[in-house]
Amino acid sequence: MSDPAFVYVVYIRATPARIWDALTDPDQTEKFWFGGRFKTDGARKGSDLELWSEQRGVDFTGQILESDPPKKLVWTFQHTREPDSLDGATTVSYELEVMGDDTRLTVTHDGFLDNSSLRRGVSGGWPRILSSLKSMLETGAPLTRAA
């Protein structure tokens, strides 16, 4: 048995290219992702990645499995402090689809163990991060205190 994937859908008034840039540029992720810099080698397939912040150091590491800008990015997620992650990496995918003048961003985080404390943690984290991303792209200001 394993817990179901966590799926979050958010609609953003921005182009897929702009959202892709925000998700893969450490200078931008720092503003909406709990102060974390999402560091990769150009978000290329096979690239190692980490989320690093001055306050907490490295939150998670991983590797880009699939990169099809600006439509799809799939990467592994191994948390550095959650015991669940010791059993293996989970997988995150971003899918971006144009919907008229908006973009639908679907984030799917999968591969959890049964009764996963990691899943509970990311279920609280993703809505904050993605709400802040949406605010940043639509208003210019991330949700400062919430993410």
Partner 1 sequence: MRKPDAVFVTFIAATPQAVWDLLTDKARSPQFFFGYVMSVGGAAGEPFTVTRADGTPDVAGKVLVHEPPHRLRVSWDMVAMPDVPTAELEFLLEPVDDVVRLTIRQFDGGPISDSFVEAGREGWSLIQASLKTLLETGRPLPPIKPRPPQ
Binding site for partner 1 (CB under 8 A): 7-13, 99-102, 127-128, 131-132, 134-135, 138-139, 141, 143-147
Give the Cα separation of 111 and 128 in Å (integer). Answer: 21
Paired with 11 in beta bridges are: 104
Taking the least distance from each CB to partner 1, the nearer of 2 and 139 is 139
The minimum distance between CB 116 and partner 1, in angstroms, equals 16
For partner 1, give the closer residue by CB, 1 or 86.
Answer: 1
> 126 by DSSP, 3-state: which?
helix
CB of 110 to partner 1, least distance (A): 16
Which has the closest alpha carbon to 89: 117, 64, 108, 61?
61
CB of 43 to partner 1, least distance (A): 24
11 vs 41, which CB is nearer to partner 1? 11
- How many Cβ atoms are within 10 Å of 118's Cβ, its own excluded? 24
Tell the smallest beta-carbon distance from residue 128 to partner 1 (Å).
Answer: 6
Q: Which residues pair with 32 in a beta bridge?
A: none
CB 8 within 8 A of CB 107: yes
Residue among 117 and 139 whose Cβ is closer to partner 1: 139
